[in-house]
């Protein structure tokens, strides 16, 4: 599936591993694992088949904005948003968030 990044910081983390020091090493490793899964999926519905990701629509204000989360570990989430254009759906990678902050 196609994806793009909301911030240059996330794009640099993905392309050059720049800024990896901002997150725990296990979270960065899992981020790359999850991005590999996203890249290999033909559509977003297939993310549900990976139970360990706990793919879900967020609640509250973030849910109203259409944001969803993928679990990186018990504490950290990859926040994404689905966008639709004439070519189909694209995942916008919004942030790596600390679930408890």
Q: What does the pLDDT read at residue 83?
A: 94
The torsion angles phi and psi of 51, rounded to 5 degrees, stand at -60, -30
Beta bridge partners of 23: none
Look at residue 101 and tell me whether its pLDDT is greater than 70.
no
Which contiguous run of DSSP H or E holds residue 60? helix 60-64
| Tokens of residue 17, six digits | 């591993």
DSSP state of 21: G
Identify the pLDDT of residue 87. 81
Residue ranges of domains in the chain, CATH in brackets? 3-98 (3.30.2310.20)
Closest CA to 26 of 62, 71, 61: 71
Per-residue pLDDT tens over the stretch 27-41: 999 999 999 999 999
53-97 pLDDT, tens digit per residue, is 999 999 998 888 999 999 999 999 999 999 998 888 999 999 999
Which residue would you say has higher pLDDT here, 100 or 72?
Answer: 72
Residue 33, token pair as written in the block:
């694992």
């Amino acid at each position: 599936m196609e994806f793009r990044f909301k911030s240059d910081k996330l794009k640099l983390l993905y392309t050059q591993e720049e800024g990896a020091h901002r997150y725990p090493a296990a979270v960065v490793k899992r981020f790359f694992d999850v991005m590999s899964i996203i890249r290999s999926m033909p559509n977003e519905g297939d993310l549900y088949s990976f139970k360990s990701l706990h793919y879900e629509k967020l609640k509250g204000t973030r849910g109203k904005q259409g944001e969803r989360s993928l679990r990186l570990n018990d504490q950290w989430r990859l926040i994404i948003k689905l966008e639709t254009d004439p070519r189909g759906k694209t995942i916008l990678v919004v942030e790596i968030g600390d679930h408890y902050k």
